Structure 1
């Protein structure tokens, strides 16, 4: 029993320090937890403050970089590929008897496109040649008539001399009383008649001489020669040739038997080697733009393709000024609209892809000075 009591006392004694240290451990544990929690809160607040400051700073940096570099180029997507398109028509009327090209065919300058029936034109040439022969015959007749009038003048002068001598004799005889008054009057009449005939011969000679142009180029002959030249030109124009290198377009409407009319377009030739881009820049983009600045052109039809180019010309008027009905702002209903000026962009190199008139493009022009 005593041993059991002793053991129980020892157990109580051993347990006594644990009960005494429990309050101290309880006090120390909350203090450490509070320090750790304060450190975590401080770190969280620091991260939150840094994040709040970083976002505006990043925005300012990005905005500043964009603003600084935005003045180096100016661009527009209001741009289109342009090409020289020649509308082909005939200079003579007549039915088409032959078509030598088809849609999309490449042709060179001088190649035959189509032919017009030359038969009526050949008839016109023959008629002009006949007119020339008639004019030449008329010229010969005028020259012959002029030569004949010269003989008439000589004969008239001789007749006048004879009549004048006869009158002189009649005057002498009348003074001596050996002739009659009637014979004297007849002599006077013969002199007047000879003078009239001489005047008529001289007038006819003057008219014949006036009808003959010095140098032999008679108006009738010149007119006939001009008619022959026109008939020959019409025959040449009956064969329609390509005025330049290019691609045939709208040839599907040209058919054999169709009547060709002067001034009516029959087909078109697109000069694919002379393509450029017409970019319509806003008027505010032209402050630092001038001819010769480098540019790059990209195309909606060819993604990834960029062609080095340059500014060739800057339009002398806005697009609205060259429209069919320009805007009239004098009526008081005026609303300011940003105008666009056409700028021609020329390629520095031949594009690797085929240029098609009307393709949409995007143009970036490099300015000399940034902001």
Structure 2
């Protein structure tokens, strides 16, 4: 008898095999049912573990020191040396105010100094300081006193009239009054030439003139407004030739590019384990893929609402608790490799366990 086909025999064997037991089907179904919750639990545990030891916020922005520039003197703008976005160095000229009025003030101060010096020379050579008036008054007193003595002697003998005696007395009194006036004029002249303890060795009027000249020179130097630090110019469109500026009114903003930092506003519930010096990681919305290392430099002394223009008043009947935000300053370490622009949105992660 010929051998049967192996394929046919295998098919018959499989057809003859008994179906799987109901217990095995139930076990496989139970495994399928439990696999999804277990996978979710494992994934959730891994996610929870990755969140431990760090806090994050996307309420963070790049900040740079900004200097509001104003003119220390008022006047008309005659030159604008910068444009918006221009990079300048410390000491570069930004704009210039008309210097002519302040040059005239220097000329006026020079004239005041010259007048004061002429007055000093005139006082030094005046008769009030020579003492001639005082000497003449004293001689006149001596002469009139001798005349009065003779008149008194004649009056006692009855050889003169009362009118002559009174005239002699009046002449003595007038001479003494002229002596007092001469002495007062000399004291006044000496006072005008005195130097005093505040400006020893120099007449006060001359010193006042020199002070006015120094102030005029200072104002003249302030007509050139220069950059106090290196940075980038902003809001330069407010500077126009011929525009009159007021003293102390900001007309230009200089963004200092020397040091950038990130101000991250963390929830108050994230501050429990945060401390100064902890490492941080900064990501930028403007530069995908750029990760910059940082470090917690300081933690704010108050919440954002505490320093707002109108602080919240919670002592009311309809008070609702809101999680507050505290500004945390993150120092950027090293060179980021890309331009830092004030106001860029960032995502900050602070590693409270210090593992990075």
TM bucket by the smaller chain? Answer: 0.7 to 0.9
Contact 1:149 1:204 in 2 (8 A): no
Report the TM-score, using the length of structure 2 for normalisation. Answer: 0.85
Unaligned runs of 5+ in 2: 1-12
Mark the CA change 1:37 to 1:331 in structure 2 (over 3 Å): closer, same or farther.
closer
Give yes or no for the alignment of 1:304 onto 2:313.
no
**Structure holding more helix per residue:** 1
Q: Where does structure 1 differ by over 4 angstroms across 4 or more consecutive aligned residues? A: 142-147
Mark the CA change 1:143 to 1:52 in structure 2 (over 3 Å): closer, same or farther.
farther
Contact 1:149 1:202 in 2 (8 A): no
Work out which of the residue numbers 296, 303, 306 in structure 2 matches 1:321. Answer: 306
Q: How many residues align?
A: 337
Larger of the two Rg values belongs to structure: 1
Work out which of the residue numbers 140, 156, 177 in structure 1 matches 2:137. Answer: 156
Work out which of the residue numbers 101, 105, 108 in structure 2 matches 1:120. Answer: 101
Give yes or no for the alignment of 1:227 onto 2:212.
yes
Report the TM-score, using the length of structure 1 for normalisation. Answer: 0.82
2:8 corresponding residue in structure 1 = none
Mark the CA change 1:318 to 1:150 in structure 2 (over 3 Å): closer, same or farther.
farther
2:236 corresponding residue in structure 1 = 251
Deviation for aligned residue 1:218: 3.9
1:81 corresponding residue in structure 2 = 62
Give yes or no for the alignment of 1:336 onto 2:321.
yes
Give the distance between the partners of 2:233 and 2:292, measured in 1 at CA. 25
**Within 5 Å, which residues of 2 pair with 1:101-140?**
101-140=82-121
**1:106-153 CA distances to partner (integer Å, 9 max, x unpaired)?**
211111122222222222221222122223333334444584374323
2:10 corresponding residue in structure 1 = none
Mark the CA change 1:235 to 1:50 in structure 2 (over 3 Å): closer, same or farther.
same
2:3 corresponding residue in structure 1 = none
Mark the CA change 1:272 to 1:369 in structure 2 (over 3 Å): closer, same or farther.
closer
Deviation for aligned residue 1:357: 0.6
Give yes or no for the alignment of 1:269 onto 2:254.
yes
Aligned to 1:113, what secondary structure does the other structure show?
A: strand
1:194 corresponding residue in structure 2 = 175
CA root-mean-square deviation: 2.5
Unaligned runs of 5+ in 1: 1-28
